């Protein structure tokens, strides 16, 4: 019998988990500071809730659960594992519409599962950290979300990230003005979306392979190559000769989002990128994606999707969301050694030794009083050579060891050893908690 | 299409989730104070890892996941949802034995899934909060766990809980001395285990129905009725004429656990209960269970299980664990109104109003500076009648509203309304964060 976790899934041992919990803690704190409320939905959804929401490819990647009682016999599945956090949110909005506030802002940090082929950095169980705002079409929604994710990344120590922004209607206008035939729209968008991976030459080649005429290719590439111009948005708009109402509104919306962001944590972080599409079918307005120089993929992304909630609710509701990729953020932070060392602390501040069977009660009483002082305390569980106990504490990186031997019992004291300096002091038993608390706190600084 | 969560599963809306997070936070803090390290395992395990570990009934309640690619066609399942936190722990011990410390103490707070028939208080997805100590047979292990769960319950505000304790070898000795025929042992234990539900008369009747002779019944009931005697353990031992080595060791072990617990948070909380069995097959030593007067089931339980890890590891490893039932703890706390009101706070400390399209930048800049002061800030997302904005804040129970109108813009000020008193003050913009932070903090006290 194998003892490995299931393929594409991971066990998180303590050090790893403390690193993850640190990042999740920052995400949660900032989300709360932006007025988002927490939400959790079940890991398991009715299969019908998920089917047809993620396209042909997505359908195949849904983990399906056998119907109770039927099991292997019929092979019938009626449940499935959560595939993302957005479809469950849409279901929640529809189910509890009477009790939810007019503007529902929620954050949700939970795992999702995909029956994908596992690969380096691609898992079958991974965490998403989402914020979504339901009920308002105002650009303030996008601005607040861009600010929140910027603040999260800055608090984690990222300085060099940028957030690329685009707009579905700007993309449509771009294709129209480049004279891309309507039947090639979605094809061309898929190729354009690869710009940050394969560069302009790669995009030009793929477009040629797909039979996109040379003059169309040249127009597209000259416009897209203008991204990162200081006056990008106005410049691009001036290039366009065909401009309908939705196109105008898209440009105006994107301009507002960028201008208003100057007042927020996202100031100086936004870059217009007319090639950004992120699976266009889903988005109806702004599209956003975070990048850092040393990672090919994104650290997260999102956009406005005003149609999805309607699938469940029967009427359209404006919605916009941003999803951070916890796994990728951790990869980059780990490679760059950005995780503060204090995050991976041992399980305890102090280990209490155990002298012999008679003194177990004294060791436990000492542990009780040290814990009352707020310390994290381990007790060596069985009588053992004192040298082995010190060695164990040292291997576990416990900074202090407290000894209650025969002398200490007689005198009502405790001997405390600082494991990093080797220094030993003897303290009255009643004062040991206060003493150690101060020492432990000064070490953390 | 239904928008309800899958049968037996629950959505946790913000207020509910904040209550749960509060309890989980206390559990986590205390577990850390007792030197337990965090661990998380995947929601999905290989089916082979789980099958055969939970008995005939358990096997049927495992949610099975269809094999990738095969799906409905073959009905073949190769994965399954986590059924408890103990079997995954045993797998982890076997897989990472080279890197784990000699005494591995972990806490794990994650959901488990059971394909049970849903009923009031019985869910198909629910959380377990487990602590386990691997690698030591010392009674200090049980004592530390009993102290940790006692401290958790006390911090949550429980005063009237008791923890019933028993021992597998004491149970065996009890059955032998009552002359229960060996072939009736497991049957009798199942009936005895119902003592706290059906009482002595119910137990006597069921034993009679099962064909247990009257003299055997009388001996069993007189001994079990002696629970809660101040000198219970010694008294019971004196009744027994047949006592083998394991029986002696069981009594001694239980005596040590209770005596040593006097030095810990579990002092005065332990009660010997010779009827407690908790599905004996699993346990090899001490058995423990928490009860409160106003709930028929237990709030948690555990015991020593020295054989399970061996199933994965190939050699026996001493192990002991305690599992708290988050759902039941929440039910009792909610019925008794034990949850502090401050737990269910609104999503924000302050809401910034939005005057009109021109002032959006000012509102966002104010929000940025208030968040920098550590406040949780919501921004009303779109221009609206100011009365509606105040009403919205009031409905959301936001304690303060900050207004930047035309006057405030001109003077560089902000008007702050205390929504509970109606009191309004005007503050320089730069000082608003500090002012509100102090007000918000004094409200929390």
Q: How many CB atoms lie within 10 A of CB B1?
A: 11
Q: How far is A162 from chain B (nearest CA, A)?
A: 19
A126 near B CB under 8 A: no
- What pLDDT does residue A233 have? 82
pLDDT digits 0-9 by tens, A242-258: 989 999 999 999 999 99
**What phi, psi does B351 have (nearest 5°)?**
-115, 130
Residues of chain A contacting B26 with CB distance shorter than 8 Å: none
**For A240-359, where are the alpha helices, taking DSSP H only?**
245-261, 308-313, 326-335
Residues of chain A contacting B64 with CB distance shorter than 8 Å: 65-66, 71-72
> What's the CA gap between A93 and A99, in Å, rounded?
9
CA distances in angstroms from A262 to A164, A229, A393, B376, listed in the order given: 15, 17, 51, 20
| Inter-chain CB proximity B68 and A136 less than 8 Å | no
Q: What is the mean pLDDT of residues B318-346?
A: 91
The stretches in chain A having pLDDT less than 50 are: none
- What pLDDT does residue A277 have? 87
Residues of chain B contacting A260 with CB distance shorter than 8 Å: 360-361, 364
Please determine, for residue B388, whether its predicted confidence score (pLDDT) is greater than 70: yes
DSSP state of A342: G
| Inter-chain CB proximity B41 and A371 less than 8 Å | no
| Inter-chain CB proximity A4 and B365 less than 8 Å | no
A102 near B CB under 8 A: yes
Read off the pLDDT band of B202 (50, 70, 90). very high
> Looking at the partner chain, which of A37, A96, A361 has a beta carbon nearest the beta carbon of B260?
A361
| Inter-chain CB proximity A35 and B378 less than 8 Å | yes
Q: How far is A46 from chain B (nearest CA, A)?
A: 5
Q: Any idea which fold B14-341 has? A: BirA Bifunctional Protein; domain 2 (3.30.930)
Do the Cβ atoms of B92 and B22 come closer than 8 Å? no
B57 near A CB under 8 A: no
> What's the CA gap between A257 and A142, in Å, rounded?
7
CA B17 from chain center: how many Å? 14
Structure-token pair, residue B305 = 């299980």
| Inter-chain CB proximity B9 and A360 less than 8 Å | no
| Inter-chain CB proximity A101 and B74 less than 8 Å | no
Read off the pLDDT band of B76 (50, 70, 90). confident
Q: What is the mean pLDDT of residues B257-280?
A: 90
- What pLDDT does residue A21 have? 95
Q: Chain A 379-408, CB below 8 Å of chain B: which residues?
A: 379-382, 392, 395-396
Residues of chain B with CATH 3.40.50.800: 347-444
| Inter-chain CB proximity A9 and B147 less than 8 Å | no
> Looking at the partner chain, which of B43, B49, B111 has a beta carbon nearest the beta carbon of A125?
B43
CA distances in angstroms from A223 to A162, A174, A177, A186, A192, listed in the order given: 20, 8, 10, 18, 12
Q: Chain A 253-282, CB below 8 Å of chain B: which residues?
A: 259-260, 262-265
> What's the CA gap between A278 and A288, in Å, rounded?
8
CA atoms within 13 A on the CB side of A356: 4
> What's the CA gap between A163 and B288, in Å, rounded?
54
| Inter-chain CB proximity B72 and A73 less than 8 Å | no
CA A309 from chain center: how many Å? 23
Structure-token pair, residue A340 = 């503060």
Residues of chain A with CATH 3.30.930.10: 14-341
Mutation for testing the B interface, residue in A40, A47, A78, A345 having most B CBs under 10 Å = A40
> What's the CA gap between B298 and B302, in Å, rounded?
11
Q: How far is A125 from chain B (nearest CA, A)?
A: 7
Please determine, for residue B155, whether its predicted confidence score (pLDDT) is greater than 70: yes
**What phi, psi does B282 have (nearest 5°)?**
-75, -40
Strands (E), B101-235: 104-113, 125-134, 162-167
- What pLDDT does residue A52 have? 87
Cα torsion angle, A366, A368, A372, A374, sign: positive
Q: Which residue, chain included where needed, has tokens 């706390």?
A: B333
**What phi, psi does A301 have (nearest 5°)?**
-175, 175
- What pLDDT does residue B228 have? 63
Q: What three-state secondary structure class fits B19?
A: helix
Q: How far is A75 from chain B (nearest CA, A)?
A: 4
> Looking at the partner chain, which of A4, A111, A382 has a beta carbon nearest the beta carbon of B138?
A382
Residues of chain A contacting B36 with CB distance shorter than 8 Å: 347
Residues of chain A with CATH 3.40.50.800: 348-444
> What's the CA gap between B322 and B301, in Å, rounded?
6
Read off the pLDDT band of B75 (50, 70, 90). confident
> Looking at the partner chain, which of B64, B137, B364 has a beta carbon nearest the beta carbon of A65?
B64
Closest CA relative to residue A192, chosen from A251, A276, A273 = A276
| Inter-chain CB proximity A43 and B113 less than 8 Å | yes
Do the Cβ atoms of B169 and B277 come closer than 8 Å? no
ipTM over 0.85 threshold? yes
Count the helix, strand and coil residues of chain B and give each as a percent rounded to the nearest 5. 45, 20, 35
- What pLDDT does residue B71 have? 61
- What pLDDT does residue A55 have? 81
Do the Cβ atoms of B330 and B19 come closer than 8 Å? yes
Please determine, for residue B268, whether its predicted confidence score (pLDDT) is greater than 70: yes
Q: What is the CATH number of domain A348-444?
A: 3.40.50.800
State which residue of chain B sits closest to A259, comparing Cα positions. Answer: B361
CA atoms within 13 A on the CB side of A204: 12
Segment (H or E) for A432:
helix A432-444
What percentage of chain B carries pLDDT values higher than 90? 73
Please determine, for residue B214, whether its predicted confidence score (pLDDT) is greater than 90: yes
Q: How far is A242 from chain B (nearest CA, A)?
A: 28
Strands (E), B67-120: 77-81, 104-113
Interacting residues of B18 by C-beta distance below 8 A, sequence separation 6+: A38, B343, B344, B345
Structure-token pair, residue B121 = 């208080």
First to last CA, chain B: 47
Residues of chain A contacting B367 with CB distance shorter than 8 Å: 144, 264
pTM of the full structure: 0.93
> Looking at the partner chain, which of B3, B147, B380 has a beta carbon nearest the beta carbon of A94?
B3
| Inter-chain CB proximity A21 and B2 less than 8 Å | no
Q: In what order do the strands lie in the sheet with A286-291?
A: A37-38, A104-113, A125-134, A319-325, A300-304, A286-291, A162-167, A270-272
Structure-token pair, residue A179 = 């004279």
Q: How far is B357 from chain A (nearest CA, A)?
A: 10
- What pLDDT does residue B226 have? 66
CA atoms within 13 A on the CB side of A65: 27
Residues of chain B contacting A141 with CB distance shorter than 8 Å: 381
> Looking at the partner chain, which of A66, A144, A381 has a beta carbon nearest the beta carbon of B379?
A144
| Inter-chain CB proximity B371 and A21 less than 8 Å | no
In total, chain A counts a number of residues equal to 445
pLDDT digits 0-9 by tens, B6-21: 999 999 999 999 999 9
CA A226 from chain center: how many Å? 31
B409 near A CB under 8 A: no
B103 near A CB under 8 A: yes
> What's the CA gap between B208 and A81, in Å, rounded?
48
| Interchain CB contacts (distance < 8 Å): A and B | 298
B75 near A CB under 8 A: yes
| Inter-chain CB proximity B32 and A376 less than 8 Å | yes
First to last CA, chain A: 47
Whether CATH 3.40.50.800 fits B347-444: yes
| Inter-chain CB proximity B79 and A63 less than 8 Å | yes
Kindly tell me the number of DSSP H helices and DSSP E strands found in chain B.
17, 16
Q: Which residue, chain included where needed, has tokens 């993620």?
A: A54
B98 near A CB under 8 A: no
């Amino acid at each position: 019998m194998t003892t490995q976790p299931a393929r594409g899934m991971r066990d998180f041992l303590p050090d790893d988990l403390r690193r993850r919990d640190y990042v999740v803690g920052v995400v949660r704190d900032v989300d709360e500071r932006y007025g988002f409320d927490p939400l959790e939905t079940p890991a398991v959804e009715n299969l019908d809730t998920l089917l047809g929401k993620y396209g042909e490819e997505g359908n195949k990647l849904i983990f399906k659960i056998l119907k109770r009682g039927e099991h292997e016999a019929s092979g019938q599945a009626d449940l499935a594992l959560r595939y993302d956090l957005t479809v469950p949110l849409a279901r929640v909005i529809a189910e509890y519409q009477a009790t939810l506030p007019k503007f529902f802002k929620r954050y949700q940090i939970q795992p999702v599962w995909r029956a994908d082929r596992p690969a380096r950095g691609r898992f079958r169980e991974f965490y998403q950290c989402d914020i979504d705002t339901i009920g308002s079409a105002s650009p303030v929604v996008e601005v607040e979300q861009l600010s929140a994710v910027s603040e999260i990344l800055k608090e984690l120590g990222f300085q060099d990230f940028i957030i690329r922004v685009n707009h579905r209607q700007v993309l449509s206008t771009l294709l129209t003005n480049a004279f891309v035939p309507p039947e090639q729209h979605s094809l061309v968008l898929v190729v354009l979306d690869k710009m940050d991976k394969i560069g302009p030459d790669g995009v030009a080649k793929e477009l040629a392979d797909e039979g996109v005429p040379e003059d169309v290719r040249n127009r597209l590439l000259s416009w897209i190559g203008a991204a990162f111009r200081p006056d990008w948005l106005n410049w691009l708009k001036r290039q366009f000769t065909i401009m309908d109402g939705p196109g105008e509104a898209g440009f105006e919306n994107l301009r507002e989002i960028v201008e208003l962001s100057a007042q927020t944590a996202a100031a100086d972080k936004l870059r217009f990128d007319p090639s950004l599409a992120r699976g266009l079918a889903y988005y109806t307005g702004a599209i956003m994606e975070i990048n850092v120089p040393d990672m090919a993929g994104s650290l997260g992304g999102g956009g406005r999707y005003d149609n999805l909630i309607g699938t469940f609710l029967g009427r359209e509701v404006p919605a916009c969301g941003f999803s951070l990729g916890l796994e990728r953020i951790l990869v980059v932070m780990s490679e760059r050694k950005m995780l503060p060392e204090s995050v991976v602390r041992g399980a305890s501040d102090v280990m209490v030794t155990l002298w012999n069977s008679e003194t177990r009660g004294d060791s436990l009483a000492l542990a009780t009083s040290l814990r009352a002082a707020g310390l994290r305390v381990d007790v060596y569980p069985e009588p053992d050579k004192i040298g082995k106990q010190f060695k164990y504490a040292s291997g576990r990186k416990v900074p202090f060891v407290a000894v209650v031997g025969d002398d200490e019992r007689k005198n009502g004291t405790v001997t405390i050893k600082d494991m990093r300096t080797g220094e030993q002091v003897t303290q009255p038993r009643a004062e040991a908690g206060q003493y150690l608390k101060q020492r432990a706190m000064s070490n953390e600084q």
